[in-house]
């Protein structure tokens, strides 16, 4: 059995694993999370690999207190009020992302905003302190499965992907955190949870707007509808997929050791054809090629296996007519 008690040694080991870029199970008061160093793109890529998610959705970044939250995200008056009222707790805020903080682009799936939460669970807090860095964590279940509320659930779903699972006891709420976006005005309730709409409205002194019916709460149980996350990063340049050559005026996003000749701007997602490395670099590479002001980005074929499915899904969206 890989389930281990939440003692000092196991917590210290979990912190060390996070710093080494490995996955850890993070017991929280809502559901168990599958955590990785939010600053390390390849570690974050392992989350999508382990969950077998066919697409990249932005993840919640867990921090130990509001001071750390407002290093990775921008604080405003409303965010401070809500942080005072509901952190630590089952409450997540989507805020403008602080570009200088070093957060992996994969954590936010290329968005300019980031979802942050301060969990109210002694074991989650202890692991965050031991890791000494923010931990990105969606629920610790395979894509399409039910969120885990006990260490045993994590073991049965993701036992193969984790060295050990720290038993933090049954999750008190058993339901994912409430998510409010302050990245736009007015504030939007993106996902209902234990902190209620009424509580939030009373602290804010304004009413929350609701996302439209196609916008979903939990990307694990409902697919991201077209048009959801409208601010999702799309390059200004058009994108040509499955490219085996580079045309005049194009930038090249390549993959693998053998790449077509070009004198234009080019980035290789992974010279060794490693999908984890490619996933970690995808969003920042699209941005960087876009900054070169080319009309079109030619993208070499990327295998449709494992993380390649999510990479191809994102590229297809980037290439869709706008
Ligand atoms: O209770 C919870 O929040 C659990 C535990 C482990 O803390 N975590 C969790 O994380 O549910 P996750 O990554 O599965 O939930 C992320 C949700 C998704 O629906 C995603 O679309 C949304 O938050 N989200 C994340 N970042 C966002 C952003 N920048 N803008 C809009 N939505 C965002
Ligand atoms: Mg989930």
Give the mean model confidence (pLDDT) for residues 53-67. 96
Q: Indicate if the pLDDT at residue 241 is higher than 80.
A: yes
Q: Is 34 in the pocket of ligand 1 (CB under 6 A)?
A: no
pLDDT confidence of 233, banded at 50, 70, 90? low
Sign of CA dihedral 177, 96, 67, 128: positive
In 3-state terms, the chain is what percent helix, strand and coil (to 5)? 30, 20, 50
Q: Which atom of ligand 1 is nearest to the CA of 30?
A: 1
Q: Are 109 and 228 in contact (CB under 8 A)?
A: no
Inter-CA distances, 233 with 1, 108, 109, Å: 42, 10, 8
Q: Could you tell me the distance, in angstroms and rounded to a whole number, from the CA of residue 278 to the centre of ligand 2?
A: 24
pLDDT at res. 185: 85
Ligand 1 atom 24: residue of nearest CA? 58
pLDDT tens for residues 107-144? 999 999 999 999 999 999 999 999 999 999 999 999 99
Residue among 98, 103, 102 nearest 70 (CA): 98
pLDDT value at position 174? 93
- Count the residues in the chain: 322
What is the pTM for the complete model shown? 0.92
Residue identified by tokens 């994912």 is: 176
Nearest residue by C-alpha to atom 20 in ligand 1? 58
Q: Which residue has the tokens 């993208």?
A: 299
**Ligand 2 geometric centre to CA of 304 (Å):** 23
DSSP string, 74-126: ---HHHHHHHHHH-SSSEEEEEEB-GGG---TTTTTT-SEEEEE----HHHHH
CA of 243 to the centre of ligand 1 (A): 34
Substitution site in 55, 121, 179, 212 for ligand 1 pocket (most atoms within 8 Å of beta carbon): 179
């Amino acid at each position: 059995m890989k389930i281990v008690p939440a003692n000092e040694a196991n917590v210290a080991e979990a912190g060390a694993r996070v710093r080494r870029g490995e996955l850890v199970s993070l017991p929280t008061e809502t559901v168990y999370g599958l955590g990785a160093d939010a600053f390390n793109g390849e570690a974050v890529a392992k989350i999508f690999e382990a969950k077998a998610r066919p697409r990249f959705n932005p993840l919640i970044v867990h921090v130990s207190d509001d001071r750390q939250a407002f290093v990775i995200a921008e604080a405003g008056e409303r965010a401070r009020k809500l942080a005072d009222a509901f952190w630590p707790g089952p409450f997540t805020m989507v805020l403008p992302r602080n570009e200088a903080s070093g957060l992996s682009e994969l954590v936010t799936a290329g968005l300019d905003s980031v979802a942050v939460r301060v969990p109210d669970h002694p074991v989650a807090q202890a692991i965050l302190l031991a890791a000494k860095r923010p931990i990105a964590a969606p629920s610790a279940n395979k894509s399409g499965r039910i969120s885990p509320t006990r260490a045993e659930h994590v073991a049965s779903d993701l036992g193969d992907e984790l060295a050990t699972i720290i038993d933090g006891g049954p999750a008190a709420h058993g339901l994912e955190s409430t998510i409010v976006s302050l990245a736009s005005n007015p504030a939007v309730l993106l996902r209902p949870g234990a902190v209620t709409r009424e509580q939030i409205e009373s602290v804010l002194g304004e009413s929350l707007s609701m996302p439209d019916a196609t916008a979903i709460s939990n990307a694990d149980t409902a697919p991201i509808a077209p048009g959801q996350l409208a601010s999702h990063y799309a390059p200004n340049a058009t994108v040509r997929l499955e490219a085996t050559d580079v045309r005049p005026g194009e930038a090249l996003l390549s993959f693998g050791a053998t790449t077509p000749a070009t004198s234009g701007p080019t980035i290789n997602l992974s010279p060794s054809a490693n999908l984890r490395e490619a996933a970690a670099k995808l969003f920042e590479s699209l941005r960087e090629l876009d900054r070169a002001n080319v009309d079109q980005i030619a993208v070499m074929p990327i295998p449709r296996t494992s993380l390649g499915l999510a990479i191809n899904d994102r590229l297809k969206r980037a290439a869709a007519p706008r």
